[in-house]
């Protein structure tokens, strides 16, 4: 992060690392050659922080699609497994999918497990599922 001289083509890239997990709001200030500043619109950015996998929204309603961010490129070839609180497998999903239909999930806590192609567990966590009106 920081200020960089522009190339004159109007295209700039800025990478931000180390964002905390969750939603962050970002706004850029562009310093023009004449010294004036222009501000961009505020953007909502969702970050997994340092976790390899982040589901959102969490808590999630069964009437909406549950989306996720996968931070690890190597995990994209793996799978995500979902279990109810008793350990019963609810669903297997390719990790590259990007979203999951949770309409058949029970209400309450659902445990997920991210595994690589060899089955090695990379991350586990939980999602709170709220049963919506069908």
What percentage of the chain carries pLDDT values higher than 70?
77
For residue 80, give the nearest of 123, 127, 131, 128 by alpha carbon: 123
Q: What is the pLDDT of residues 2-14, one digit of tens each?
A: 555 555 666 665 6
For range 80-91, the mean pLDDT? 96
Please tell me what DSSP assigns to residue 90: E
More confident residue, 82 or 51: 82
Give this prediction's pTM: 0.65
Residue found under tokens 């969490």: 58
The correct CATH number of 53-130 out of 2.60.40.1930, 1.10.3720.10, 3.30.1330.40, 3.90.76.10 is 2.60.40.1930
Q: Is the pLDDT of residue 134 over 50?
A: no
Give residue 28's pLDDT: 82
State how beta strands 65-70 and 53-56 pair. antiparallel
Whole-number Å distance between alpha carbons of 31 and 16: 19
Task: Return the bridge partners of 129, or none.
Answer: 60, 108
Give residue 106's pLDDT: 94
CB 79 within 8 A of CB 92: yes
Q: What is the pLDDT of residues 40-67, one digit of tens each?
A: 888 877 665 666 788 888 899 999 889 9
Cα 98 vs. chain centroid, distance in angstroms? 9
For range 81-103, the mean pLDDT? 93
Domain boundaries, the chain: 53-130
For residue 60, give the nearest of 105, 30, 113, 121 by alpha carbon: 105
Give residue 2's pLDDT: 54
H helix and E strand count, the chain: 0, 12
Please tell me what DSSP assigns to residue 27: -
Whole-number Å distance between alpha carbons of 115 and 45: 26
For range 107-124, the mean pLDDT? 93
């Amino acid at each position: 992060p920081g200020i960089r001289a522009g190339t004159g083509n109007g295209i700039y890239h800025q990478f931000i690392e180390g964002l905390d997990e969750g939603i962050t709001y970002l706004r850029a200030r562009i310093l023009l050659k004449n010294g004036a500043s222009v501000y961009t619109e505020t953007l909502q950015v969702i970050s997994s922080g340092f976790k390899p996998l982040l589901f959102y929204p969490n808590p999630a309603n069964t009437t909406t699609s549950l989306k996720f961010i996968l931070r690890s490129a190597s995990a994209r070839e793996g799978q995500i497994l979902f279990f109810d609180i008793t350990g019963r497998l609810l669903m297997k999903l390719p990790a590259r999918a990007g979203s999951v239909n949770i309409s058949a999930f029970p209400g309450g806590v659902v445990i997920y497990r991210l595994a690589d192609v060899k089955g090695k567990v990379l991350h586990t966590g939980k999602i709170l599922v709220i049963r919506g009106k069908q």
